[in-house]
Chain A
Amino acid sequence: MYAALWRILPGPVWARILILLVLLAAVLFVLAFWVFPWIDYLTAPVQDVTVDR
């Protein structure tokens, strides 16, 4: 999977590394500001701080 990604990327090694870093940054950004908040919203243990019967 990742080997195939490496083969698909164009250019010399430094350019591929640069593209990968940019892709990684984009993925992390999407995760931190959209995906993770959504998962947190779905799974947050809201009741853990309250007393309840």
Chain B
Amino acid sequence: MSDLLDLVNSAEDEPPKRPRRQKTPRRGVASRIVGVFGELLITAGVLVLLFLGWQFSLNGIMLSNHQSSDASSLSQSWATGSGSSTPPSTAAASAPPTTTASFPFGEPPVLATPSAAQEFAVVYVPRFGSDFKKLNNGGAGHYPSTQMPGQVGNFAIAAHRDGWGSPFLKINELQVGDPIYVETQDGWYTYTFRGLEYVTPYGVGVIDPVPQVPGATPTDRLITLTSCNPLYIASERIIAYGVLTGWQPRSAGAPAEIAGIVGA
């Protein structure tokens, strides 16, 4: 113990012996350039890693929250009637439906085709999480060539599941019978999940009015969700199909299952 104290005392008494500058010899210009270049390379590598980390964590969280809050404000604007930018809906489709679905509130209305990048729908999928809601356009995108919610044919939307908020991350966990709710200015369309399909990126048949039957005349009101598969590789597309089983106007209120999160 006393040895240690002596050591400490002697270290304090003696002036520091280590000269700071003279120890390293002056480097040549070439050596300095190489050194700076090496540091730049290391910095670039760190930046790339930071970007990847940002993209798959922070950005995903930020985008996801942003999409949810945007969806909420759109819902609120419909609820208060301030959302006037959407063109009025046409009356119910004239084609007689042959689906088994019954519509106690009458035939579902069909939105007029919106302009590009216009937000016209909010999608709720309880299977994706009890508070899941995504904006068409902000979180998912509507295939412009496909039909609108409630229309006879195919309402097809696409979204990421490997970043950018990952709206459709759990698309492979959908189970037959799961509801998929689509809210528009007119009310809520309830689609029921029917099944999954896997296709190549060129499998455009999945968004046909009658999926995989080009040219056929549609009689059902379908929804098609497309996303990438496998996760982070995206060499295929995962497809989820649903069929319209219900519709309720805004005056009837939101479906019970999602009533708590609409506009919240």
Chain A contact residues, CB within 8 Å of chain B: 1-2, 28, 31-32, 36-37, 39-40, 44-45, 47-53
Contact = CB atoms under 8 A, between A and B. Distances in A.
A48 B228 contact: yes
B54 A36 contact: yes
B201 A1 contact: no
Contacts, number: 59
Contacts of A44: 164
A48 B59 CA distance: 18
Chain B contact residues (Cβ within 8 angstroms of A): what range?
20 to 34
A48 B202 contact: no
B228 A49 contact: yes
A39 B51 CA distance: 9
A51 B54 contact: no
Contacts of B7: none
Contacts of A51: 199, 201-204, 206-207, 226, 237, 239
Interface stretch (B32-40, B113-121, B175-183, B245-253): B32-40
Interface stretch (B67-75, B83-91, B100-108, B154-162): B154-162
A32 to B, nearest CB: 6
Nearest to B47: A31
B207 A49 contact: no
Nearest to A47: B201
B50 A37 contact: no
Interface string B37-70: 0011000000100110011001100000000000
B168 to A, nearest CB: 8
Contacts of A36: 50-51, 54-55, 59
A1 B34 CA distance: 11
